[in-house]
């Protein structure tokens, strides 16, 4: 029982890590784009 729970937890934590990386990359892209727009003005 505990082994299955640990396996499920590791899968969930991997998904959360991937999601966090995706969000971080997305926010960096948005910030870079905003900075480019601001510097063009």
* Structure confidence by residue, pLDDT tens digits, 17-28: 999 999 999 999
Q: What is the pTM of this model?
A: 0.64
Region 26-38 average pLDDT: 95
Q: Give the mean pLDDT of the chain.
A: 92
CA distances from 24 to 5, 9, 19 (A): 28, 22, 9
Instruction: Please determine, for residue 1, whether its predicted confidence score (pLDDT) is greater than 70.
Output: no
Residue 14 domain boundaries: 1-41
Whose structure tokens read 């934590």? Answer: 13
Query: What is the number of domains present in the chain?
Result: 1
pLDDT band of residue 3 (cuts 50, 70, 90) is confident
CA angle 32, 38, 41 (to 5 degrees): 145
């Amino acid at each position: 029982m505990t082994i299955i729970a640990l396996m499920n937890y590791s899968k969930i934590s991997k998904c959360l890590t991937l999601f966090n990386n995706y969000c971080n990359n997305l926010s960096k892209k948005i910030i870079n784009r905003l900075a480019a727009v601001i510097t063009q003005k």
